[in-house]
């Protein structure tokens, strides 16, 4: 069984999306460092940033004015300085290509060779814990860039020269189609990179984040649903902004062997403090309630009737109880959520010692203990 770990054992890496992090640092280095220190103080371990934006310098681009690429003479120096700043504030990074539209293969080769050179520095290589070829390749490149083979070619220019511990191609789009995800997951990746389901209601988003992990194994949640005006294509966004909602959402990611990511409006366009966003200061304390090694526990299942006798909590119509149990020690965690507040009616049906029972507003509840 696979799980996320460092030299000390199983871990729950905690990410905060800061898409224009490098672009913002290049334009406003002092303000940028303050923002990154705020992210670290909130308890996050790494940021996800894009290392290319509007390469073709299109004036009608969403990213016009925030362009980021080799046309800037200071690009490589700024990228190195950004990684040095991250190390100074004790953050790591997921570096993702943000855009390849409208540039020739020779430009692309030079861009990825630049990152191979940057990550040839051991300190920078230690800072970048995941190098991602391209953000949502279906929409952010030219036709040849929407194929796994082309993005793998570019990623290999970095991976093979630096023995990067973790690299990925692309989430392709916001899809959970397993055939598509597998096509973008070469054998050397060992995990799925996912941009999560953003439809329907809060409980549906939580269910999807949980289910893809327990059905498919290791998941890296690159862009989940999020809060604030710059987070696009999210149904019923107001539900995510309610007290406790983001906490329950990231708990579902972490409990199903995923790397949780906090996604919010300043994580796209930094025009307001991260601390002004719902959940920013509370999702990491919620994750701290989970045992550090929860991802290594071997039994993951939902609390439906098919698991009667195995489940610790039963469910009522409209509610769910996501279970994870360590069969060696009997430790468990259960995440309750559902339509409305139906989850409040879930009942314990298996003897167990409850060690923690925490509710998160009207969004859900976490129960941990030992059988």
CATH of the domain at 18: 3.20.20.80
Distances (CA, A) of 99 to 151, 198, 258: 12, 22, 26
pLDDT digits (tens, 9 = 90+) for 137-178: 999 999 999 999 999 999 999 998 877 779 999 999 888 889
pLDDT, residue 213, reads 84
Are 208 and 345 within one domain? no
Q: Residue 1 pLDDT > 70, yes or no?
A: no
181 lies in the same domain as 307: no
Shared-domain flag, residues 320 and 269: no
Q: In terms of domains, do 206 and 344 share one?
A: no
Are 141 and 149 a contacting pair, CB within 8 Å?
A: no
pTM of the model: 0.96
Instruction: Write out pLDDT tens, residues 21-58.
Output: 999 999 999 999 999 999 999 999 999 999 999 999 99
Same domain, 144 and 192: yes
Q: How many structural domains compose the chain?
A: 2
Residue-range definition of the domain harbouring residue 174 = 5-292
Strand runs labelled E in the chain: 5-6, 9-10, 15-17, 46-50, 92-96, 128-132, 167-168, 192-195, 219-223, 258-259, 261-262, 299-301, 313-314, 319-325, 331-338, 347-348, 353-360, 364-370
């Amino acid at each position: 069984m696979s799980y996320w770990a460092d030299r000390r054992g199983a871990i729950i890496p905690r990410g905060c999306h800061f898409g224009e992090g490098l672009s913002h640092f290049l334009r406003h280095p002092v303000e940028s460092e303050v923002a990154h220190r705020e992210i670290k103080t909130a308890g996050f371990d790494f940021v996800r940033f894009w290392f290319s934006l509007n390469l073709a310098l299109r004036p009608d681009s969403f990213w016009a004015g925030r362009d980021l690429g080799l046309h800037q003479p200071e690009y490589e120096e700024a990228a190195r300085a950004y990684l040095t700043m991250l190390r100074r504030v004790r953050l790591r990074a997921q570096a993702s290509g943000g855009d390849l539209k409208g540039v020739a293969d020779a430009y692309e080769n030079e861009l990825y060779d630049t990152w191979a050179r940057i990550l040839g520095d051991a300190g920078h290589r230690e800072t970048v814990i995941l190098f991602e070829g391209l953000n949502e390749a279906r929409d952010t490149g030219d036709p040849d860039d929407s194929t796994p083979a082309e993005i793998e070619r570019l990623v290999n220019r970095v991976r093979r020269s630096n023995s990067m511990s973790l690299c990925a191609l692309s989430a392709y789009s916001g899809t959970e189609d397993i055939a598509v995800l597998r096509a973008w997951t070469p054998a050397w990746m060992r995990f799925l990179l996912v941009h999560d389901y953003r439809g329907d209601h809060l409980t549906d988003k939580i269910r999807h984040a949980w289910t893809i992990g327990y059905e498919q194994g290791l998941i890296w949640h690159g862009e989940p649903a999020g809060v604030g005006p710059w987070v696009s294509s999210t149904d019923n966004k107001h539900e995510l902004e309610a007290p406790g909602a983001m906490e329950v959402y990231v708990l579902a990611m972490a409990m199903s062997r995923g790397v949780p990511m906090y996604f919010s409006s300043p994580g796209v366009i930094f025009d307001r403090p991260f601390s002004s966003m719902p959940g920013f200061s509370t999702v990491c304390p919620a994750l701290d309630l989970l045992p550090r090694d929860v991802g290594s526990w071997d039994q993951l299942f939902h609390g439906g009737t098919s698991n009667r006798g195995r489940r610790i909590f039963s469910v009522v119509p409209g509610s769910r109880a996501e279970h994870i149990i360590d069969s060696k020690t009997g430790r468990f965690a259960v995440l309750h959520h559902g339509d409305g507040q139906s989850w409040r009616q879930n009942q314990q049906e298996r003897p167990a010692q409850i060690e923690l029972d925490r509710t998160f507003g009207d969004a859900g509840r976490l129960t941990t203990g030992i059988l």
